[in-house]
Structure 1
Amino acid sequence: MCEVNQTAVTEFLLLGFQGLQKIKILLFTVFLLVYIVIVIGNLLIVILVSSMDHLKIPMFIFLKHLATADVLLTTTIVPFMLDILMVNEKKILVGICIAQMNFTFIFGFVQCFFIAIMSFDRCLAICNPMHYTSIMSSRVCIMMIRGCWCLMLVISNEIILVFQLEFCNLSQVDSFFCDFGPVVDLATSDPSLLILVDFIVSVLIIFFPFAFTIVTYICISVVILNISSSSGRSKAFSTCSSHLATVCAYYGTLMTVSLNPFNKGSSNLNKFLSLLYIVVTPLLNPVIYSLRNEEIKKALEKMLSNLRENM
């Protein structure tokens, strides 16, 4: 309970991007266009994989769920951010703020698992093609997908500890969404247990999938180096390097922000780092994982051709 001379906080004030009011129209326009592209690009992947029978293989099924997580993550945050850009500040109920934080955890961290199992799928297909079909069966694929979502729902129970925090007097959140560090930093009760749990969860969810992904790409690289054809090696490395660049950008920013959420001295830097995994990575994923894939291109052409015939 708050002390006698303190007032319990029922609303937080999201400060957004302070000092950028002069270019807020430009920022609003850019982020709105990016958001539209993210939603259309990722939903297009979901529709294509769901409707085209030849795309219903593990690689594309995993990609569909990654695209779903991308849309849900950006939709959880970007509309709030666009509103803040126009009004400069935004009030949000504490309960809604914590709910947004929870969904950000789920949709953001579940991407780590899907990126990891997608890299495992490619590693298995390249390094052990003879046994790929028997190992990566439809049953195993479904179990992995369900495991990712269910594990994230269980881990997100740490949000219960956030609801137990007390917030008195201080209500200004120096961020454009309900980020863990800025919110918990306002707590007047002891958040040490929550911080410890969050650190452990972040290490388990971010570091280990990242390490696993790097190992799979090392294995893939070894196999590619043994390809006799120079053009084949070049094509394979081109694809892998673009995937790996996205992985490093996503995990790098996520580790910087998540494993050190209370870095007060660089709040503006943390905001822009957060934008990388909230906006930039979901924007790049459809390009890197799909639009450069011939099967996705053919499926898109087929869908557009069918639409033209039905018009």
Structure 2
Amino acid sequence: MPNSHLQMNAEQTRPWKNRSTVEEFILLGFQEHSIFLFLTFLGIYLAILLGNGLIVVVTTWDSALHTPMYFFLRSLSGLEMCYTSVTLPKMMANLLSGDLSISFPACATQMFFILFLGGTECFLLAAMAYDRYLAVCLPLHYMRLMSRKVSVGLVAGSFAISLPMQLLQVGLIFSLPFCGPKIDHFFCDIPAVLSLACADLYANEVSVYTENILFVIVPFVLILTSYAYITRTILRMPAGTGQQKAFSTCSSHLTVVSLFYGSVMLVYLHPQTPDSVKSDKVLSLLYTVIIPLCNPLIYTLRNREVKSSLSRLMSRKKRSEVSTG
């Protein structure tokens, strides 16, 4: 996720003759209470893998969940596991070993995957909103308009749109000269890395601004438009179970969208100040850790079909253990 309000800090205003070649960066991250934080993030990381992995297994195992809606949910859960795996293992390794370094290529690779997976998630959430729009507003045409080919194409398209833009973005950033190696963050985030650059950032600002529009604003507007039509359709339904079912169908996704876009906009679309990099470090935990942890709970606790499938899976496992025992 890029930031459209980049400003050069004191290091960026140094004379360019003071530039140095940076071969590795230092991720300052969270240095206090390292053992406690390591155990905390380890528990969270395992919970993220377990929760999202369980959704992937259940929606794959149960043929009743082989529908476009659960195909999107399975894709989102897989994406969340990959997204979290880009940041948390490195942060935990730094906390445990005390070695805060990350090589120049590793930092560029980490930033690419953060941007790539984050941008993909923005469009995937928009595709899920479109799926809910068709299910609620055009139910008679749903299976024709949201065929397996279309749903696979929407997921593949979400990845395809993000890939070239993020390669360009990372290439522009890591072709810059850097004045120092210390990144005041727990991963290689755009504002924290650019704050070390000793160069004119105009091209980067244009690139970041373009990505903000394409990957944050456009999908968010599409989601809002879908839910405007969904709300209008629901309000026109006769009062009763039809409205409740429609609201139930959309509530989980709408909750995830609110959490994700709320945290992303809070971190990346506010004006930057000298102290904002430090506050962004803490706020970044929202979309890199907290939301991937909450998503499985949101979709299982508020979805009868997923809970029913989980119960059948657990019952089948128990019967298998009894028979083998």
Q: TM-score if structure 2 supplies the norm length? A: 0.86
* Per-residue deviation, residues 100-147 of structure 1 (Å, max 9, x unmatched): 000000111211111111111111101110111111111111111111
Amino acid at match of 1:61: F
Are the aligned partners of 1:171 and 1:186 in contact in 2 as well (CA < 8 Å)?
yes
Establish whether residue 163 from structure 1 lines up as the match of residue 158 from structure 2: no
Aligned to 2:319: 309
Aligned to 2:60: 50
Are the aligned partners of 2:20 and 2:177 in contact in 1 as well (CA < 8 Å)?
no
Larger RCO (CA within 8 A; separation ≥ 6): 2
Aligned to 1:296: 306
Establish whether residue 206 from structure 1 lines up as the match of residue 216 from structure 2: yes
Establish whether residue 257 from structure 1 lines up as the match of residue 270 from structure 2: no
Aligned equivalent of 1:177, options 187, 193, 204: 187
Shift of 1:75: 0.6
Shift of 1:231: 5.5
Judge which range, 193-202 or 118-127, deviates more: 193-202
* Per-residue deviation, residues 154-180 of structure 1 (Å, max 9, x unmatched): 221221212311224x11000011111
Q: How far apart are the structure 2 equivalents of 1:57 and 1:242? A: 16
Q: How far apart are the structure 2 equivalents of 1:5 and 1:140? A: 54
Gapped runs of 5+ residues in structure 2?
Answer: 1-14
Are the aligned partners of 1:14 and 1:89 in contact in 2 as well (CA < 8 Å)?
no
Aligned to 1:280: 290
Amino acid at match of 2:26: L
RMSD of Structure 2 on Structure 1 (CA):
2.3
Shift of 1:236: 4.4
Q: How far apart are the structure 2 equivalents of 1:190 and 1:3? A: 10
Shift of 1:43: 1.0
* Per-residue deviation, residues 284-310 of structure 1 (Å, max 9, x unmatched): 211222342222122222222332333
Are the aligned partners of 1:250 and 1:281 in contact in 2 as well (CA < 8 Å)?
yes
Amino acid at match of 2:256: T
Q: TM-score if structure 1 supplies the norm length? A: 0.90
* Per-residue deviation, residues 38-87 of structure 1 (Å, max 9, x unmatched): 11111111122223222111100011111111001101001122233345
Aligned to 1:188: 198
Q: How far apart are the structure 2 equivalents of 1:3 and 1:129? A: 62
Query: Quick one: structure 1 residues 132 and 184, their matched pair in 2 at CA, closer, same or farther if it must change by over 3 Å?
Result: same
Q: How far apart are the structure 2 equivalents of 1:267 and 1:110? A: 24
Query: Quick one: structure 1 residues 214 and 266, their matched pair in 2 at CA, closer, same or farther if it must change by over 3 Å?
Result: same
Are the aligned partners of 2:183 and 2:192 in contact in 1 as well (CA < 8 Å)?
yes
Q: How far apart are the structure 1 equivalents of 2:146 and 2:252? A: 24
Are the aligned partners of 2:38 and 2:95 in contact in 1 as well (CA < 8 Å)?
yes
Q: How far apart are the structure 1 equivalents of 2:64 and 2:246? A: 22
Aligned to 2:4: none
Query: Quick one: structure 1 residues 63 and 293, their matched pair in 2 at CA, closer, same or farther if it must change by over 3 Å?
Result: same
Query: Quick one: structure 1 residues 231 and 214, their matched pair in 2 at CA, closer, same or farther if it must change by over 3 Å?
Result: same
Judge which range, 58-67 or 149-158, deviates more: 149-158
Gapped runs of 5+ residues in structure 1?
Answer: none
Q: What is the percent sequence identity of the aligned residues? A: 37
Structure 1 residue ranges (4+ consecutive) displaced by more than 6 angstroms after TM superposition: none
